Amino acid sequence: MPNTEDLRPNEMRVIACGTGMPTQRLAQAAACFLVELGNGDKFIFDIGSGAAERLSALQIPYDFLDKIFIGHLHGDHFGSIGEMFIGGMIMGRHVPLRIWGPSGPTPQLGTKYAIEKMKEMYTWDVAGRVGMTDTRGFALEVQEFDYKGVNQVVYQKNGVTIRSWPALHAIDGPVSYSLEWKGLKFVFSSDTYPNKWFVEHAKNADLAIHECFIAVPSLVTKMGFTPEAALQVGTQIHTAPEAFGKVMSTIKPRHAVAYHFFKDFDTTAQVYERIRTTYDGPLSLAEDFMVWNVTKEGVRERMAIVEEHTWAPPLASPAIPPKMEDRKAESERLGWEIGYTDFIAGGKLDYRDVIEPIYEEASKAVGRELKYPEND
């Protein structure tokens, strides 16, 4: 259960917060893996659609969920970034959201472009919140690195080294990652067809997470794909289960994790049996909230038990009260004074008789005067 297990100083814990496919389903969010280290550091690898709710169920202060590494810019690998930006701020992130991701063959195909446009998409959202709550978390920092870099260091701090190398998926741009810390190695493919860089640089992994797509027959029967499309998507764009097994037999990780398929009673056996034609080592077929504790001694797989009706987790840093002056910079940027025009303000009903007592009640509760806004 979240917040009930302290990590030992040399322990790594990985939690699957999304293991599904590019399409939406309640039981499985799209790609997202949280890596937590015994030194307190936390890293998110991919943040696919639906993953933000899973992360919220873990009740981790949002100041600690500020580092996201994106493998590629398919929606099922970064579709929850907006929820982390907006919702994460409302739930207590007082620091910028930091995003690492690959460049592309053109600037428009890179991570920086995607995040800048995402921020533009939220222009009204941000304007409508400044001055209302503690909005220090409304800041984005993007570190874009060369997608062609081979085993290049993209992050190094606090004894943690994160590297990237190219992945082979759809078109140029995608990458895979490794994270090394205290002699432990985590690798994450994001999406890729089996490639030479992965088998070279994922060697000696303690936990190797690689995509493994649903078997071709299921793509036809469950998704309505034509056989041609099923073969193309299931074996050429992605890694087929048999190919996943071959990758793992080559790198021989201490523990292999397959993700990127809908794990049902009638699909799991097919994926499992196909993997087992080419790989006989330790294996997890991932599902949401599967947890791996990794130490030198061993890898332990369990399921997290989470609460669905969660609220904001505890704050890691105190919130500051909002000030209307905070709107100034945003107003200047937009060339329009943020607020209501006289026309819209004129639609307000005078409900002061029922709202003013709420201010009086709150003042009594906190022992200081909280004033009903006079200019209202």
Least CB distance from residue 260 to Zn ion, whole Å? Answer: 6
Closest to Zn ion by CB, 192 vs 293, is: 192
Asked if 34 contacts 127 with a C-beta cutoff of 8 angstroms, the reply is no
Least CB distance from residue 77 to Zn ion, whole Å? Answer: 6
Q: Contact region for Zn ion (CB under 5 A) — 92-100, 184-192, 201-209, 337-345?
A: 184-192
For Zn ion, the binding residue among 191, 206, 288, 330 (CB under 5 A) is 191
Least CB distance from residue 259 to Zn ion, whole Å? Answer: 9
Asked if 76 contacts 31 with a C-beta cutoff of 8 angstroms, the reply is yes
Task: Report 44-103 residues binding Zn ion (CB under 5 A).
Answer: 74, 76
Cα distances from 167 to residues 70, 83, 159, 186, 349, in angstroms, run 12, 26, 25, 16, 58
Closest to Zn ion by CB, 46 vs 180, is: 46
Query: Which residue matches tokens 């200081």?
Result: 368
Q: Read off φ and ψ for residue 255, nearest 5 degrees.
A: -150, 130
Closest to Zn ion by CB, 74 vs 255, is: 74
Closest to Zn ion by CB, 190 vs 293, is: 190
Sheet bearing 152-157, strands edge to edge = 152-157, 160-166, 175-181, 184-188, 207-211, 255-259, 283-285
d(CA 236, CA 243): 10
User: CA nearest 195: which of 152, 261, 244?
Assistant: 244
Q: Contact region for Zn ion (CB under 5 A) — 122-130, 187-195, 221-229, 287-295?
A: 187-195
Least CB distance from residue 196 to Zn ion, whole Å? Answer: 19
Closest to Zn ion by CB, 168 vs 283, is: 168
CA 286 to chain centre: 16
d(CA 333, CA 222): 49
Closest to Zn ion by CB, 76 vs 330, is: 76
d(CA 147, CA 110): 9
Closest to Zn ion by CB, 191 vs 326, is: 191
Least CB distance from residue 211 to Zn ion, whole Å? Answer: 7
Total residues interacting with Zn ion, rule: CB under 5 A:
3
d(CA 143, CA 69): 9
Least CB distance from residue 84 to Zn ion, whole Å? Answer: 18
Least CB distance from residue 44 to Zn ion, whole Å? Answer: 16
Q: What residues line the site for Zn ion (CB under 5 A)?
A: 74, 76, 191
